[in-house]
Amino acid sequence: MATAHNQQVPTAVALEKARRRVGFSVEAAADELNITTRLLGDIESGLRTPGPDLIEAMVSLYGVEPGRIEGRELVPRVPARYDAESHVLQMGWTSIQIKEKDNDHIARSLAVALREMRSLPGDGPVVLRSTELGLLAPLFDLSAPDLPEILTRYLRLTPNDALSLVNQMVVLDSVHG
């Protein structure tokens, strides 16, 4: 992993962590801030930069000490991408060498990368974003009968959620493939 733990946490990540720490859902926080859930999601994803007034409102709502977030550099989260020529999946600052159709390797590597990127606990579930599913679907062997069990093991999903994820990827792969 190529992530430095001593780097300053970007504003987008800090705002998302602060919201989660106080127990606000995206919907509840957006409602309190009088903004759309899409705008809040874009801010927390680093796609949009909040103005000083909105940052001040967020800091106040989340109970963050003034000045703890405003001075942080806003670093957008880089969308995942796959280079088919080199077989490298780029997830944030992490590069994963993909062993084509090796479900175990892909799921394990993906879980490690996403847990680190999103600061998720090791025993909690890893939810794949819809933008990631279309990219990942062609990398997996979607016909493998043990894929749901592999996703359950590494992404800490329930068996039903893992099966649903496989079904979503099958649909996306058939549409894009």
User: For residue range 80-109, what is the model confidence (pLDDT) as tens digits?
Assistant: 889 999 999 988 667 899 988 899 999 999
Kindly indicate the confidence band of residue 12, based on its pLDDT and cuts at 50, 70 and 90: confident
CA distances in angstroms from 47 to 22, 41, 42, 148, 157, listed in the order given: 23, 8, 5, 32, 27
For residue 70, pLDDT over 60 is answered with no
Query: Which has more confidence, 34 or 124?
Result: 34
- Can you point out the beta strands (E) in 123-168? none
- Rg of the chain over CA atoms, in angstroms? 18
CB 72 within 8 A of CB 14: yes
Q: Residue range 49-64: average pLDDT?
A: 83
Q: Of 26-30, 91-95, 148-152, which range is least confident? A: 91-95
> What gap in Å lies between CA 15 and CA 64, rounded to an integer?
9
HSE toward the beta carbon, residue 81, CA cutoff 13 A: 7
Does the reported pTM lie above 0.85?
no
Question: Locate tokens 């099966």: which residue?
Answer: 163
Domains of the chain: 1-77 (1.10.260.40), 81-176 (no CATH)
> What gap in Å lies between CA 51 and CA 29, rounded to an integer?
16
